[in-house]
Amino acid sequence: MFEAGLPVATVISDRPCAALSLARAHGAADELIDRSGYGGFGPAFDRQGYTATVTATLVAHQVDLVAMAGFGTVLSQAVHSAFPDRILNTHPALLPAFPGWHGVRDALEAGVSETGCTVHLATLEMDAGPILAQEAVPVLAGDTEATLHERIKVVERALYPATVAWALGELEAGRSIQPPAPRRARSEEMTT
């Protein structure tokens, strides 16, 4: 996002990671809201309390749009109420196929010839929100989860910032962020 010249107000992480130092290096606020203080990654996790802290932090930084990437926590309703249809997420598969934590592994196990990257509006249900943009990546003979994921990341590093820039433009123009209308097949275009 920084390399694309997008206005990043803050970077929030649910665990220590390189993104926080990257934020500092680019003059953005860095906020570690560690899950360990909310019960960690097990069944004791306080999703409501954690979401309330994340939401308050985003509001305090006067964020207009939330762009999640690699954020390992599904947030509850409070953040969606504070940022309705203004939370984007990226996923390493062509949704609705292969939602969840192991999209790349699941695509390989299914034996598909292509997978890719999806940018969608986040909802309470993981990887189920309206799709804003997608780009396919072929699955090559001999691909491993690591090699395929790296090729998907190359696509994601272009697709996600472009989609975030588009979404910011929509908000700036006073429009809500809505999925683009589905494209008609070429044969339909030729007959209408």
Q: What pLDDT shows up at residue 188?
A: 43
Helices 145-172 & 103-110 angle (0-180, nearest 10):
130
Q: How far is CA 30 from CA 2, 5, 90, in A?
A: 13, 18, 20
Q: What is the DSSP letter of 38?
A: G
Q: What pLDDT shows up at residue 189?
A: 41
Residue scoring higher pLDDT (186 or 182): 182
Tens-place pLDDT, residues 53-69? 999 999 999 999 999 98
Q: What pLDDT shows up at residue 185?
A: 45
Catalytic one of 80, 91, 120, 149: 91
Q: How far apart are CA 71 and CA 10, in angstroms?
A: 14
Beta strands (DSSP E) in 33-98 are 66-68, 87-91
Q: Roughly how many angstroms between the first and final C-alpha of the chain, as a whole number?
A: 40
Q: How far apart are CA 112 and CA 20, in angstroms?
A: 35
Known catalytic residue: 149? Answer: no
Contact between 137 and 147 (Cβ < 8 Å): no
Q: How far apart are CA 78 and CA 60, in angstroms?
A: 15
Q: How far apart are CA 28 and CA 80, in angstroms?
A: 23
Q: What is the DSSP letter of 179?
A: P
Contact between 91 and 118 (Cβ < 8 Å): yes
Contact between 77 and 104 (Cβ < 8 Å): no
Q: What pLDDT shows up at residue 8?
A: 96
- Residues 117-141, mean pLDDT to the nearest whole number: 96
Q: How far apart are CA 43 and CA 9, in angstroms?
A: 32
